[in-house]
Amino acid sequence: SAFSRANIIYTGTPVRKEFYLIGKTSPPDKGEKQNILIISGSQRNHAINQAVIDALPYLLPQQNQFAFTHQSGSADYAYVKQNYDREGFRAEVLEYIDDMPKMYAKAHLVICQGGGSTMAELHASRRPAIIIPAIAAQKQQTYNALGIQELGIAKIIPEPELTGETLAEALQNIGNHPE
């Protein structure tokens, strides 16, 4: 048969080679700020956008510690940008990111959902992450996220437990213990 074991090669999820190159280097020197990359680009990721905005008041004491690059998607773009500006946080808000490897390369931490391609990029790039499995695909995304968490580079916050406070607490813990 065409599908005999001898004819099958397991390849995994395709990942661009740039992500593997990132994984061979350390994140950039933090200096005074940690670069936080937030990947929340589709309509169903409103929960991440909302939680980040709700986390900002909790992060005010550490405001100068963080710089955000936030892919908000087009639906939430104005809302997200306006709230970063209102709270006085340094943030680059984008509807879409054309060069994702570049953003991973400068990130100290990624906040994202647990989709398979994103988990493959995190695995290859070795960037620490806060992963928020989507409620609609929670079982699948949770299993994806567990694989990254087992590498010791991720914290999982299930979407039903996601609030501004829980996200701020996770960021503060990472900020206080950056290793």
Q: What is the pLDDT of residues 33-84, one digit of tens each?
A: 899 999 986 656 899 999 999 999 999 999 999 999 999 999 999 999 999 9
* Total-model pTM: 0.90
Q: Residue 5 gets which letter from DSSP?
A: G
How much is the pLDDT for 3?
Answer: 75
What is the helix (H) or strand (E) element at residue 156, kind and residue range? strand 154-156
32: confidence class by pLDDT, cuts 50, 70, 90: confident
Task: Identify the pLDDT of residue 179.
Answer: 47
Element (H, E) at 109: strand 109-112
Sequence-distant (≥ 6) Cβ neighbours of residue 128 within 8 angstroms: 108, 109, 110, 153, 154, 174
| Arithmetic mean of pLDDT, 83-108 | 95
pLDDT of residue 167: 98
Q: Over the stretch 143-178, which tens digit does the pLDDT of each residue have?
A: 999 999 999 999 999 999 999 999 999 998 875 554
